[in-house]
Every structure is written in C-alpha cells, then in structure tokens.
C-alpha cells in the first residue's frame, strides 16, 4: 500500500460569516489548499467533504459548483465533531486502496451561537433540566467530574487548561480570538455547567479547512518539498462500557484509536512533539492527556500544573489555541487541526512554532461516539 | 376534564394500575449487563434473545455530576445533573434534588435514592401531566 502525503493544506481564519453560504465558506479553504499544493481542481480525482449542519444537502457538490465541476466522485460525510477527520480519513483510505493518487478533503461548518446538545425532542415533554442535562457543557462537565472523583482533579486545574489555550491563540492569526485570559478571569467567568465556565467552553464559529492528499508516487513526481507524511489514520467508535447509555464515553474510544494509531506509526507517545486534541471543553482536554498516553493515568493534573503541555514544554498541546479559542466549526475542526500540525512540521508556525517538531498528532471526538486520530511526520 | 393519571416521562418508568411506580431494566441473562428500555441483543456480549425484564433498585451512589447554571430558555437553573450507579446494577441519569447545588455540599459516592414526582409542571400539547423520577440524598 502506498504511503500517503499531505501535499497542500490550509484553513481560513475562523469567524462568523452569517451572510455567506456553507459551500462558499468551504470553497475558500479548498482553493487555499489547492494553491498550497500547487495544483488545480482539475488535478483532483475525488472529493471527500465533511459537514454536519447540512449533512443532507450535498455540500461537496455545491463546493465544486463554486470552484470547478469536473465530474469527479464526491462523498459527503457526517460523523459529529469527528466529521472533518472522517473526510480526511476517507481520502487517505482511497489512496491506500490504490484507487487514486490525488484527492481533496474539505471540512466546513457554519454555526449559530449558543448551547449545543440536549434539546431532547422526541415524544411527550422536554427532558432537559428534568432528567439531568444533555447540553454539551454539562455532558463534558460530568466526564471531568468523573476524573475529579478518581484523581482529585480541581476546578483550578481544569481552568488552567483554558488559560493555556487562550494564551497560545494570541500567537495564531487564524484563531477566532487572540486574547489572554488570566486564571481568575477564567474561574470567575459565567458558570455554564460546573466546573466549566464560559471561558472553558469551545467557541462556536464558522470555518473551513482543506487538504490535498497524494500517493507516494505522486508526491515524488511533484517533489517532496513541504509534503507531510501521514504515519497513521485511526478511527474507533465507543466500545461497550457500563455507563455509556447515560454517560457518553469519550475515554474508551480515544484509547482504542490511540493504540491503533501508535501501532500503525510504530511509535510511542514519547515520540510525539506536539498534539492538537479535542478540547471542546477544558474538562475534556484533561482526560485526553491520559487517554492519548501523554502521561500515566492520574497524572493529567500535573501535566498542566508543571507546564508540560504548554508551548516550550515536553509535549505542547493545542498550540493553535484549540477549540477553546481558535474556535470549533464542527465539520472543519478535524482538518483544521491537521493544518496546524502540518504547519509546525513544515516549520512555518511563526511565533507559536514548536521547535524541532518532527512528529505531531491530531485527535477529535464526535459524541455518540467517534474518535479520529492522525499521526503526521515531517519529510525533510 | 376528569382527573387523569399522569403519563411516564420515559418508557422505562412504569406506572402500574395498582401499586407504586418503578423503573424497568432489561438484563442480559448471559453477561448480566443492564439496559434501560426494551432491546433484544446485548451490545456487550452480543447474545440474542437473552434479555429478562427486571425492576431496577431504588437506591444507589452518586458516580458523577455537574451543576447546570445555563440551560435552554425556560429551563430553571441551577440544578444538579447526576449520574447514579444503582445498587442492583445499571446506571441512570437525572436531577439530584433536595441538596444545595454547591460542590462543597455534594460528595462523590454519596448514597441516593429514587423518588417520583410531577415533571416540574411540564405538560404536553394535549395537556397531559407527566410523572418523572428524581434522585435525593438517602
């Protein structure tokens, strides 16, 4: 099977674009990724498009209507917050399968403001606030409190994650916000679902990201130059766990996918120089230090206390600013984090550059549950 | 309109004609896993047609929780969203009531019991009342 390379990748600056259409936002990133690869839409053999909000509305084809209708096959995917990673992985798989040499993956989302999840619906009466809460800040607060129960993790430790990611975002011009948020500001912000304050919740934004993936043969033909090698692409759903009927399990599926990814790449967590992981809430990031093997179980609090996950630390996490400050356009997130890691591997991340980065990891979780992990490696 | 019996808030809340309401589970006879609501196949051990209907126990311990300060418009806050492991097996989620929504007052693993009551005055489009379940400190 051919190795797969990212030949071009880019994302738009995340923001709010209520006057634009979803395909229009996606088309912008697609053109940027094509330019980055030095290729045109006519060179693409297939398009894998990730979008959640208009999952039944042929977003991929409508992107091509804006940038070039070549007749190529288009697959539209939806997989909750793992949607972008799923589109990227389908593109990767098509090259692995020997079907194509050059394909395009696009992730795009246009979000409203406000709380996600929990609306309930169904028969009878609304259940929100009656049988607990299905809002995302609450669901991830419950997952974080489980960690508190087992390991004594504190509100302050969770809050420090948000301080870190907001700090990182001050160095990322493509992040939604570039604002420092000191610890007291994070902890005193409006409490949404204890222990997640408003500044510990990801930002709902509009955005898009895209990548051009090529086979080894094609990469050699085009010149390796700034190409980034995909060392692993892993995906898992949630295996059975005792509480997952009422408590979506983001841990077990991350551990499954991480194990698979490390095995594919033939490396261990100690070989990873930077990680972009799914910090949809500050409480979530804490869990994934352990789930991804960046530290032993029970040591996540120390990872943030001792600065190991900051820029300049042992394994910087979410130097882009993460979903907490860069923003979280659901369908775009899984490709935007691949853009971030590639940018570091190419040595082009400017002020937030992780020095000497050779191997990076991306991770997303779509509640329900889907976990997508990619390991990427610098080529030269 | 005559006095009508409230409807159950979820399918697994049962309200017998004579007797007290209770929560119903489905237990896999092969591996013992407990599910809420009817099903035929066990997602843990994959056994088919091995489910037995059980009454869930009405006591348990607080596994995890969050205190919800912002919800959707019209939902009263704050309230405690609680995950409870039942003593007889199975885990359910609901509101923890009759305790202050303050992390200093709430203890992990604290014993709780299930109580039943009106669904906070919520009615459906036909005007039907509903019976819900809640947790309270035991």
Which tens digit of pLDDT belongs to each residue from B49-90?
A: 999 999 999 999 999 999 999 999 989 999 999 999 999 999
For the question of residue A328 being annotated catalytic, the response is yes
Inform me whether the C-beta atom of residue B57 falls under 8 Å from chain A C-beta atoms: no
Q: Which of A127, A132, A142, A196 to mutate to test the interface with B (most CBs of B within 10 A)?
A: A132
**Cα dist. A136→A114, A174, A192, B101 in Å?**
11, 25, 10, 19
Active-site entry in A168, A308, A328, A363:
A328
Domain ranges of chain B: 7-137
**Cα dist. A313→A45, A126, A273, A310 in Å?**
41, 46, 10, 5
For the question of residue A253 being annotated catalytic, the response is no
Give, for A325, the enclosing helix (H) or strand (E): helix A322-325
> What angle is formed at CA A282 by the lines to CA A278 and CA A285, rounded to 5 degrees?
40
Inform me whether the C-beta atom of residue B65 falls under 8 Å from chain A C-beta atoms: yes
Mean pLDDT, chain A, whole residue set: 96
Could you check whether the bond before residue A255 is cis, i.e. omega within 30 degrees of 0? no
Taking only the tens place, the pLDDT of each residue in A328-374 is 999 999 999 999 999 999 999 999 999 999 999 999 999 999 999 99
Instruction: Give the residue from A312, A313, A283 showing the smallest Cα distance to A300.
Output: A283
ipTM of the complex model? 0.95
Q: pTM score, two decimals? A: 0.96
**Cα dist. B109→A248, B3, B116 in Å?**
20, 40, 21
Domain ranges of chain A: 4-113+203-378
Q: Which of B73, B82, B93, B127 to mutate to test the interface with A (most CBs of A within 10 A)?
A: B93
Return the CATH number of the domain spanning residue range A4-113+203-378. 3.40.47.10
Taking only the tens place, the pLDDT of each residue in B76-86 is 999 999 999 99
Confidence of residue A240 (pLDDT cuts 50, 70, 90): very high
């Amino acid at each position: 099977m051919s190795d797969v390379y990212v030949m071009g990748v880019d994302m738009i600056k995340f923001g709010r674009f209520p006057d634009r259409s979803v395909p229009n936002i996606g088309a912008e990133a697609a053109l940027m990724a094509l330019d980055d690869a030095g290729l045109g839409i006519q060179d693409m053999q297939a398009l894998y498009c990730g979008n959640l909000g208009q999952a039944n509305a042929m977003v991929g084809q409508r992107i091509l209507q804006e940038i070039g209708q070549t007749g190529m096959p288009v697959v539209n995917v939806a997989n909750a917050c793992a949607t972008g990673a799923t589109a990227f992985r389908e593109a990767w798989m098509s090259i692995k399968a020997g079907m194509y040499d050059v394909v395009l993956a696009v992730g795009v989302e246009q979000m409203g403001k406000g709380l996600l999840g929990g609306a309930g619906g169904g028969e009878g009466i609304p259940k929100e606030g009656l049988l607990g809460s299905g809002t995302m800040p609450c669901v991830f607060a419950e997952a974080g409190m489980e960690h508190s129960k087992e390991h004594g993790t504190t509100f302050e430790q969770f809050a420090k994650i948000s301080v870190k990611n907001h700090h990182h975002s001050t160095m990322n011009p493509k992040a939604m916000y570039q604002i420092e948020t000191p610890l007291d500001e994070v902890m005193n912000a409006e409490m949404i679902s204890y222990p997640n304050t408003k500044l510990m919740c990801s930002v709902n934004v509009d955005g898009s990201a895209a990548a051009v993936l090529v086979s080894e043969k094609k990469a050699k033909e085009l010149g390796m130059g700034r190409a980034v090698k995909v060392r692993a692409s892993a995906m898992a759903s949630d295996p059975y766990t005792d509480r997952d009927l009422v408590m979506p399990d983001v841990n077990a599926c991350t551990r499954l996918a991480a194990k698979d990814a490390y095995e594919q790449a033939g490396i261990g967590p100690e070989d990873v120089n930077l990680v972009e992981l799914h910090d949809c809430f500050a409480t979530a990031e804490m869990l994934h230090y352990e789930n991804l093997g960046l530290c032993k179980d029970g040591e996540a609090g120390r990872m943030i206390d001792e600065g190991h996950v900051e820029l300049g630390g042992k394994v910087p996490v979410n130097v882009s600013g993460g979903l907490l400050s860069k923003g979280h356009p659901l369908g775009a997130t899984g490709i935007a984090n691949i853009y971030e890691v590639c940018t570091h591997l190419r040595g082009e991340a400017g002020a937030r550059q992780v020095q000497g980065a050779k191997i990076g990891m991306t991770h997303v979780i779509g509640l329900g549950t889907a976990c997508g992990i990619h390991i990427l490696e610098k080529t030269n | 309109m005559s006095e009508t019996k409230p409807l159950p808030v979820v399918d697994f809340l049962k309200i017998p004609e004579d007797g007290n309401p209770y929560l119903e589970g489905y237990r896999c006879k092969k591996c013992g896993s407990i599910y809420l609501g009817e099903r035929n196949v066990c997602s843990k051990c994959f056994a088919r047609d091995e489910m037995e209907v059980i009454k869930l126990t009405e006591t348990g311990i607080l596994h995890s929780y969050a205190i919800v300060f912002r919800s959707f418009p019209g939902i009263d806050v704050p309230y405690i969203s609680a995950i409870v492991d039942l003593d007889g097996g199975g885990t359910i989620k609901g509101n923890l009531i009759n305790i202050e929504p303050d992390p200093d007052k709430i203890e992990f693993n604290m014993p709780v019991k299930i109580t039943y009551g009106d669904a906070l005055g919520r009615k459906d489009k036909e005007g039907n009342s509903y019976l819900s379940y809640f947790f309270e400190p035991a």
